[in-house]
């Protein structure tokens, strides 16, 4: 069988779809789970000045919650829904924003630049 035979109309060979997970366009994404929730909880508890940025579903990922600490350190995890993300932030007394509206804070980009410069200095 030639490679392009898979894509020709009328071909008897069909590509199977992946099992499990949700399909988003042509990709399958992992759903949020308890490990993601636990990581977000630990991040909020261990840092001060945390803000939440709820990122909408895209073609390649589900809804995510981006948490950014006062110094720019950040983490991002999948969450079940936009409402869940805002509820999580409210329960942990973390202000939350829609990232599609306000963007991400400059301190996060500054943090990434600092980390990148430190790695360059160490030769990594």
Question: What are 49-97's pLDDT values in tens digits?
Answer: 999 999 999 988 899 999 999 999 999 999 999 999 999 999 999 999 9
pLDDT at 16: 41
At residue 3, does pLDDT exceed 90?
no
pLDDT at 31: 74
pLDDT at 23: 52
Residue 30 vs residues 5, 52, 91: alpha-carbon distances, Å: 30, 21, 25
| pTM over the 0.85 mark | no
**Contact by Cβ (8 Å): 70, 29:** no
At residue 13, does pLDDT exceed 90?
no
């Amino acid at each position: 069988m030639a490679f392009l035979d898979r894509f020709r109309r009328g071909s008897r060979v069909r590509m199977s779809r992946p099992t499990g997970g949700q399909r988003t366009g042509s990709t399958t994404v992992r759903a949020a789970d308890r490990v993601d929730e636990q990581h977000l909880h630990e991040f909020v508890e261990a840092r001060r000045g945390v803000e939440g940025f709820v990122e909408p579903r895209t073609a390649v990922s589900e809804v995510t919650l981006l948490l950014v600490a006062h110094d720019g350190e950040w983490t991002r995890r999948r969450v079940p829904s936009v409402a869940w993300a805002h509820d999580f932030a409210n329960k942990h007394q973390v202000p939350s924003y829609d990232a599609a509206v306000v963007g991400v804070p400059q301190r996060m980009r500054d943090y990434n630049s600092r980390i990148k410069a430190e790695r360059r200095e160490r030769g990594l």
